[in-house]
Each structure stands twice: as structure tokens, then as C-alpha cells.
Structure 1
Amino acid sequence: MTDNTPNMPKASQPDIVGLSSAYATGTVIAPHAHRAHQIVHAISGTMRVMAQGRMWFVPPGRALWIPAQMQHAIECIGPVEMRTAYLSEAYPTAHSEVLVLSVSPLMREVLVRLADQADEALDLMLAQVLIAEIKHGTLEPLSLPIPNNPRIAKLARQMQTDPADQTPLTTWANQLGYSERSLIRYIRAETGMTFRELRRQTRIMVALDKLSAGQSVTETAFDVGFETPSAFIHAFRILMGQTPRQFMSGV
């Protein structure tokens, strides 16, 4: 499906369009693609974006870069307010792959300004600033693989739906009709991770939704399956390089 976003930039020349959007909890935007590069900034709320065989998590204070012609779908976790900029394909591609970026104060102000008021001459100058910010922004490891194998996909979905589930690998192997060794091999082939790594990363990603909604670190830790808040904070820091509070304070 192609997009029908109004005032989409012209592909043949440098052009940029800003857009302000708000969506209700649970809104799902069906798979589609834009003919322009896209940077989507979560002002509030959390988005999950399915693209390039992965599920990308976009909490407040972060932005998702999507190259032109890249098909993607969006799910809103809680009410979401976003600012989006569309850059024509005449601009060099900042990145060839989908990725999540930390939003600097400068990037945030540029995105807000582009969405709030159109001024062609100023917008073209802001586009250069925005591209530089995207190229040199800090990348965030905020994604999970979407397995192609239906049985491994079932396992991954269950981990996301009930991250506190403590079902061991042996039980999962029996339920999915694999030997334990085969399940280990298929999980690695489909996700690039071990069973333990996949469960830990899934728990941290689901925790982002809860933290973004204002839930406490302690409540979140227990909700996603950690035995203690300190164990959650330790696992979060290993993956994100920050404690949960430090990560959320960057919003």
C-alpha cells in the first residue's frame, strides 16, 4: 500500500514537509510506504513499528528513521502524539536501514518547527540541520526480530504478551513440537539470540511501554518478570547503557 499523505515532498528536488499527528490508544496504521524519507518523533506515548522484519519500539524522546519506499506498519501503545518530517528522495539517504535515534534538543525543536508552520526558505535550511542530526545521532537498540518460522513467531508473541511467563525452554520445546536442541537452533537462526537473550530483551522492550506510561520502576520490574527491581535495573543497564530512570529522564 502506498501512502496518501497530503503535501508529500516532490521527489525530483530537495523538499521537506512537517506534520503533527495524534492517535488514540490502540490505533493501528496498516502497512504502507512513503515515496519520501521519514523521521517520526514520539512527543508522547509509545509506538511499535513493524518494518524490515523487526518490531521497532519508539518511546518518547526517540525517533524512527524510515528510508523512502520502505513498507512499515504502526501500532500505538497508549495515546500517541508525534511529529514527522518527510524528506524528498532528492536528499542523500541519511541511513539505508530503519533505525531508532535518540532525539537531541536541537532535533526536537527542528521537528516541532517544521510541523507547526510552513516557510519554504527556512524549511530548506532546517532540512540540512535535520539531516546532520540524523546522520550523527545516537542509535538506540530498540527492536525485536519478527521470526518467519510460525512456531518461533508464536514463542516470540507469547513473550511479548506475557513477559513474566517463566515457562522453561524444555516445556516450550514440547509445546512447539521440537526437541530442545532443535528449538535452540531455530531460535538462534530466526532471531540471532539464545532463548534467554530473547526473553531478556523482550522484557526490556515491553518495560519501555510501561515506563513511558508512567509506571514505576519497581512495578514494571515485577510486571515483566524480574524477581527484584535491582535485577531489572541491571539487565536494563546492560542492554541500554543506562538505568531506567536515566533512560526516561532523557525524554
Structure 2
Amino acid sequence: MSDTTDAANAQQDPEAVSFEGLNVSDRVHIVPLGYEYERVTVPAVRMRADRVHLVYHEGDDPDERPGYYEDIHADLRAAGIEIDDDTVCDIFDLYDTLRTIAELIQANRAHDVYVNLAAGGKVTAIAGMIACMVTGEAEPIYVSAAEYGQDKEVPVAKDVTSVSRLPTYPIQAPSRDPLVLLQYIVEEGPVTKQECIEFAVAAGIDPLAQHSADDTRGLYRLLDSHLLDSLRADEYVETYKQGRNKYVQATTEGENTLDAFSYML
């Protein structure tokens, strides 16, 4: 066989090919980790993932993680899948997990993103589903198995039987302007309504920022109608009067909501 024929039949390195002017999406899996092995690796390998973001519990000692976590890494690498191993959160906290997954979804929104709801626990499954519905940028998947156990020293589920896409329904995330004010109230509160107005104007939040500074009553009306009314309706803040001033302070629900949706700011 000639050298010319050998050169023609040789496979070109895919990494050497550039895609100019084309949007080439990766297949990205986001996987909060619990006590699972096959429910992590099988969908990623079968669905030909390009990259997997593993989400660990922030309170875990890496040296005390289950031994099969090393097998997860080995299987993914053997399949040529890139592993992002740097993400941690409190996987028992709904809001922290929601924020973490939503941030990963947003960071990969140019790609095809899948959130594995079966690899962690109940909290991560709920948070992952909400993150998919709020962002509208990811597909939630559930991985069924033939056997389920209770011993955490070995993977809980064995023999994956199916990987299913779950239906989603749009969920309205908080609007950005009220969320910006909520962040100010959480960090600085309790604050007066006058201080809220001053913050909104300085932050360039319209229509307050464009309104005449001399129209005090108008500014108070705009603060209520454009920002505070929605925050109060959702029970993210509460107002009270002390002396001649009206104060605004965040509720626990408001603090949790800010934690969950801070990726929008």
C-alpha cells in the first residue's frame, strides 16, 4: 500500500478540527452525588456526555467518600468524558442546592444540559427539578434500576433499566429589580423606605431612577408599586412603623429566596 493511500485512510484528530461560525453544543450532565454508581455513569456514558459536573456535599471529607466514587471517575474517563470535580454545596439544603444547580445550568446554557435527579437524595431531586423549570435551560432525567438497597457502603441501586426525561412546566423566577432590592434589604436591613428609595435610585432601578427627586410622594408610590408590593405579596419582606419611619426587613423566606436566586444578580 502506498504512502498516499495510508495518508488518505488515516483518521484525523478531532481536536484539530475547528468549527468557525458554527454553534457546536456539548452534552453536559449535572449530577448531585449521593450513594449511587450506575445511576451516575450509565446515563452519562449511554447519552454520550461530553462533560459531567459532579456536585458533592460541602461537609464531606474527600478521604471518607465511598470507594465507588473512584469507580465513577474511572468509568467516565474511560468513556472520554470530561469531569468537573470542583462543585460543592449543602445537598440537604433546598435553596443552596437550587442555587448551585441553577448556576451550573446558566454557565452551560449554550450547550445541551441534563440534570440527573436520581443520583442524589430527595432534596437534590426537588432542587434539580425546580432549577430546570425556573431556568428553562436544562432537561431533568430520572434513572430507574432493577434493584434498590439500603447499604450506603455499596451503591444503592443496581442494574439500570431506563433513563427517562421528565416533563417540566415553566416556573416564574423573581423579577430582577425586586431581587436587587431584596438583596439590599437582606444585607443591610431593617432599612427605612426612604433608604430603599435612595438605594433604588443609586442602583439605577427604573422608574424610580428616572423620576423627579423632588416628588417625594411619587417616589414612595413607585417604590411600593414597582418593588415592595411584589416582595410583600410573596412574603419575602415585611414592613412596620417605628416612630415616624416605616421600616422594611426580610423574612426567612426572603433570605432563602435570595440564596436560591442570587445567580440572577
Query: With structure 1 as the length reference, what TM-score do the two structures score?
Result: 0.32
Find the structure with the greater CA-based Rg. 2
| Structure-2-length-normalised TM-score | 0.31
